[in-house]
Amino acid sequence: MDKNSRVTGLREADRVEIINLMDNSIDLLSTSPREEVKRFRDWVKKPLGYPIAEHGFSALTRVFNEEELHSILFDTGISPRGVVINAKRMRVDLSEVECIVISHGHFDHSAGLPAVVKAVNKSELPIMVHKDMFRRRGSAEPDGTIREYPRFPREDRVRPARYVDTGQPHLIANGLILITGEIPRKTPFETGFPQHRAFINGRWEPDPWIWDERALVINVKGKGLVILTGCSHAGIINTVIHAQHLTGIERVYAILGGLHLSGRDFEKRINWTVEELKKINPRIIVPSHCTGWRACHAILETMPEAFVWGSVGNLYIL
pLDDT digits (tens, 9 = 90+) for 168-201: 999 999 999 999 999 999 999 999 999 999 999 9
Number of helices and strands in the chain (H, E):
7, 19
* Residue 260 confidence class, pLDDT cut points 50, 70, 90: very high
Amino acid 3: pLDDT: 57
Judge whether 227 and 254 are in contact, CB under 8 Å: yes
Model confidence over 32-61: pLDDT tens digits?
889 999 999 999 999 999 999 999 999 999
pTM above 0.85, yes or no: yes
pLDDT in tens, 111-160: 999 999 999 999 999 999 999 999 999 999 999 999 999 999 999 999 99
Q: Do 167 and 182 contact (CB within 8 A), yes or no?
A: yes
Rounded CA separation 14/139 (Å): 42
Amino acid 19 reads: I
**What is the end-to-end Cα distance of the chain in Å, rounded?**
29
Q: Work out the number of other CB atoms within 10 angstroms of the CB of residue 124.
A: 8
Arch. (CATH architecture) of 12-317:
4-Layer Sandwich (3.60)
Calpha distance 208→191 (Å, rounded):
8
Residue 32 confidence (pLDDT): 83
237: left (phi over 0), alpha (psi -120 to 50) or beta: alpha
pLDDT in tens, 199-252: 999 999 999 999 999 999 999 999 999 999 999 999 999 999 999 999 999 999
**Is residue 12 within a helix (H) or strand (E), and if so which, with residue range?**
strand 12-13
The model's confidence at residue 2, banded by pLDDT at 50, 70 and 90, is low
Beta strands 162-165 and 126-129: pairing type? Answer: parallel
**CA dist., res. 119 & res. 36, Å (int):** 29
pLDDT of the residue at 4:
60
Burial class of 2 by CB neighbour count within 10 A (0 to 12, 13 to 18, 19+): exposed
Distance (Å, rounded) from C-alpha 27 to C-alpha 182? Answer: 33
Spatial CB neighbours of 154, under 8 Å, sequence gap ≥ 6: none
Give the pLDDT of residue 106. Answer: 98
Report pLDDT digits (tens) over 11-40. 999 999 999 999 999 999 998 889 999 999
Burial of 67 (C-beta count, 10 Å sphere; 0-12/13-18/19+): exposed
Q: What is the pLDDT of residue 288?
A: 98
- CA-nearest of 79, 76, 123 to 100 is 76
Closest CA to 289 of 272, 266, 306: 266
**pLDDT score recorded for residue 6:** 84
pLDDT, position 111: 98
Q: Distance between CA 234 and CA 213 in Å, rounded? A: 7
pLDDT tens for 63-118 read 999 999 999 999 999 999 999 999 999 999 999 999 999 999 999 999 999 999 99
